[in-house]
Copies of this chain bind each other. A is one copy, B any other.
Amino acid sequence: MPYKLRPGRMYMMPTHFGPASGPRQGPEGQRFDCQDTPRATSYSVSFLTRAEQLDALLPAGFRLAGEPLVTVTVSCLTEIEWLAGRGYNTLGVSFPAEYAGRRDRARGPFLAVLWENLADPILTGREQLGFSKIYCAIPPPVILNGETRCAADWLGFTFMDMCLTDMATVPTTEAEGNAAADKARVEAPRDGAENEHHAWMTGTLHYKYIPRTGEWGSADAEYAVLTPSAAPNRRVTAQWNGRGSVRFHRAAWRDLPTQYHIVNAFEELEQVAFRGASIVETVGGKDLSDQRILS
């Protein structure tokens, strides 16, 4: 007797061993409330680039929203409940964009790519959520004489270096306020937009694409997705602001045979001006089960 998929349960390949156990479905099918975990420390550096360079990285239906400001963020996550208390690190690159579909309108950071140093969340993130997650090594930050440095490499080829300096503590209440302000800025409607018929959703924007087997060049799935911005359980517990810089290193195909084109696109972005750096510590989050397709 072949098995049948249980209705209402989430599955991933291999489906043969029962429902998947992952971020949005625990071993007994339960949810994780992400109340007091995970813990995260995020290191971000932003720089201004040229708008047309970012436009060229946006899929159909998207456009740049506001300043062409690229933010590169390394995050170190620990105490992740769905990983039974383990952690992993991420490296994301995003810039403000908006999406207008037939029905939906949404605005927020467009997460062009998210490297992670563990395969398990890469698989759930790509397939369940439509995050553009790929793999690299992300060693712990190196801290010396007030400077914090983060780096990322793929099998030994270091393709990103980030440096944060002159970091000054931000009072926590202010930090929470800043977070709200940041959100407001990126989510601010364009002039006149408030009069539009459809309300703008806010959150992180992605574009999901799954190729169709054997029919090379066509897709099983291809759609814009949104991570709604609401995260009521996430609290900022400490924040530092300061100056920073980030550099991507040009790669030959043989250096990064699966990622050279991604890294080189970032290396080619003109860095008109650096726009500050931050270190943010948070507790709590959400399971992203509110992730949704934009249509």
A: which residues have CB within 8 A of B? 1-4, 7-18, 20-22, 24, 26-27, 37, 52, 55-63, 78-79, 81-87, 112-113, 118-120, 122-123, 126-135, 137, 139-140, 142-145, 147, 149, 151, 153, 155-158, 207-217, 219-221, 223, 225, 253-255, 257-258, 260-262, 265, 289-293
The quantity of this chain's copies bound in the complex is 4
Task: For A58, give its contact among B16, B87, B137, B210 (CB under 8 Å).
Answer: B16
Whether A85 contacts B128 in the complex (CB less than 8 A), given A112-B16, A210-B220, A221-B220, comes out as no
Whether the Cβ atoms of A214 and B221 lie closer than 8 Å is no
Whether the Cβ atoms of B132 and A14 lie closer than 8 Å is yes
Whether A210 contacts B221 in the complex (CB less than 8 A), given A86-B142, A139-B155, A149-B85, comes out as yes
Q: Which residue of B lies closest to A211 (CB)?
A: B128
Contacts of A135 in B (CB 8 A): 118-120, 123
Q: Which residue of B lies closest to A117 (CB)?
A: B119
Least CB distance from A139 to B in Å reads 6
Contacts of A14 in B (CB 8 A): 112-113, 132, 134, 207, 262
Whether the Cβ atoms of A85 and B254 lie closer than 8 Å is yes
Most chain B beta-carbon contacts within 10 A, residue among A7, A82, A208? A208
Whether A217 contacts B10 in the complex (CB less than 8 A), given A15-B207, A57-B3, comes out as yes
A142–B252 Cα gap in the complex (Å)? 15
A27–B207 Cα gap in the complex (Å)? 22
Task: For A119, give its contact among B86, B122, B216, B253 (CB under 8 Å).
Answer: B122
A-B contact pairs, 23 of them (CB 8 A): A1-B55, A2-B58, A10-B217, A11-B209, A13-B132, A13-B208, A13-B210, A14-B262, A16-B57, A16-B112, A16-B132, A16-B207, A17-B265, A21-B258, A21-B261, A78-B143, A85-B143, A87-B140, A123-B135, A157-B158, A210-B221, A214-B225, A214-B291
